[in-house]
Amino acid sequence: MNLGIFFVKFMRIIKSPFSLLNLVVVPIGATLGLGFLLEKGQQDLVIPVAFVDEDQSGFSETVKTRLQNQPKIQLYFPSRKEAERMILRKEVDSVFVIKEGFEDSLLIEKREESVEVWITSSSLAEGIVRELIASEVLRMTSNIKAAEFIVKHYKKQNKSSFELNYLWQEAFNYSDKQWEPAPLMTIDYETFRDENSVKDLGKSTYSPFLGLWTFFSLFSCFLSIGWIVGERSLIFPRIKSTYKGLFSYIAQSVGVLFIFQCIQVILSVFLLSRIKAIEINLDIIVSMILFIFIGLALSVLLASVSTREKNYYLVSSLLVLLIGIVGGSFFPLQELSNKLSSLSFLFPQALLLDNSYSTLTIDEIFYISVISCITLLAIRRLHIK
């Protein structure tokens, strides 16, 4: 194959600041810029939660103090009636009521129905706070069991009530210290997508920076292919006397874009690893390059059915935005809904945002093969027209 077109296109991009900006600088710069803004916004975000303490005991005070130390939660301490008004006016995300007798229930190792939870359809932090309170209740009941075990042992030695109470408190405090700096108990779990595919959530790799990168890189791919629509009426008639001629022209032209996008991938991986957004490994580099390949293929497909350049850029912008939202470029859909999670696997972001960068699955290979065939059909369509 004569690579003259390849080198001509390559040098044309080198000499074009706009092309270099679109292919290399903009995807990286926009990802880092917007990523840092979102990260700062997340750091400043606090969720208002009402905490109603009807027990007014040492245990409930401990739970309240430890919740106050959580950085993303802003606690309010209204009465029950005030809490009802606050959640109805949506001034708080959720309400947690420590019922009267909370401490007494824990001392007899009875945890059920000791805390009430009020939520609305728009509550976001209810699950997080529920887990925090549940972990504190578990911590206290474990401490109580440890203290009761020690007291039971020393009762056989005919210790006085004063000594037993002292021993109980000492054992409780000692057991409580064992939860610092890390909990005594943690949970390792896996979620199953289907019978043959298991993803370890403990190794989830979703990164806001990586999600943004998929959006801006996909937008760059579509923007860089607009020339196909522009040259269809002027250039293509001169070079499509044979199918091989047109195929060679488009393949070499798109190949040059692919090379520059791969350079952008390498730079992105390096910079994102420097800010600790991702870890450098071969799997992620391969996945990002495959994502670029799919992005360019979809761009050629859209260009093959577009008749006007303005229409192409309008439709491609809307399509990239739709793919970005549904595919999970802006937020992890897997955490919002199982149905949306299943839908996101149909989009190219699944190569990068699907919790791991493991070797290609059969589904992904099939997806890439289908995209390749569609691209060839798109080029054939351009030749026929």
Residues 223 and 265 in one domain: yes
Q: How many domains does the chain have?
A: 2
Residues 63 and 172 in one domain: yes
25 domain residue, yes or no: yes
> HSE on the CB side for 83, CA within 13 Å?
24
Amino acid 200: pLDDT = 39
CATH value at residue 131: 3.40.190.10
Residues 23 and 94 in one domain: no
Quick check: 245 and 8 in contact, CB under 8 A? no
194 domain residue, yes or no: no
Alpha helices in the chain (DSSP H): 4-14, 17-20, 26-44, 58-68, 80-88, 102-107, 126-155, 161-177, 208-224, 227-231, 236-239, 243-274, 282-305, 309-327, 338-344, 350-353, 362-384
Which residues of the chain have a pLDDT value below 50?
Answer: 187-205, 357-358
Domain boundary among 141, 156, 187: 187
Quick check: 136 and 103 in contact, CB under 8 A? no
Give 161's strand partners: none
Amino acid 207: pLDDT = 73
Residues 15 and 123 in one domain: no
Residues 305 and 172 in one domain: no
Domain of residue 140, residue span: 46-187
Amino acid 182: pLDDT = 62
Residues 6 or more apart in contact with residue 289 via CB below 8 angstroms: 262, 265
Residues 6 or more apart in contact with residue 269 via CB below 8 angstroms: 278, 280, 284, 285, 288
Domain boundary among 187, 219, 254: 187
Determine the Cα angle at 293 with ends 292 and 294, to 5°. 90
Amino acid 314: pLDDT = 94
* Token couple for 41: 């916004």
Residues 6 or more apart in contact with residue 57 via CB below 8 angstroms: 102, 103
92 domain residue, yes or no: yes
243 domain residue, yes or no: yes
Residues 33 and 8 in one domain: yes
Residues 139 and 11 in one domain: no
195 domain residue, yes or no: no
Amino acid 54: pLDDT = 92
Residues 58 and 35 in one domain: no
79 domain residue, yes or no: yes
Residues 268 and 349 in one domain: yes
Quick check: 178 and 142 in contact, CB under 8 A? no
192 domain residue, yes or no: no
Residues 9 and 109 in one domain: no
201 domain residue, yes or no: no
Contacts for 30-39: CB closer than 8 Å, 24+ residues apart: 30/212, 30/216, 31/209, 31/212, 31/213, 31/216, 31/268, 31/272, 32/209, 32/271, 32/275, 34/212, 35/208, 35/209, 35/212, 35/277, 38/208, 38/212, 39/208
Residues 32 and 93 in one domain: no
Residues 150 and 253 in one domain: no
- Torsional sign, CA 205, 208, 210, 211: positive
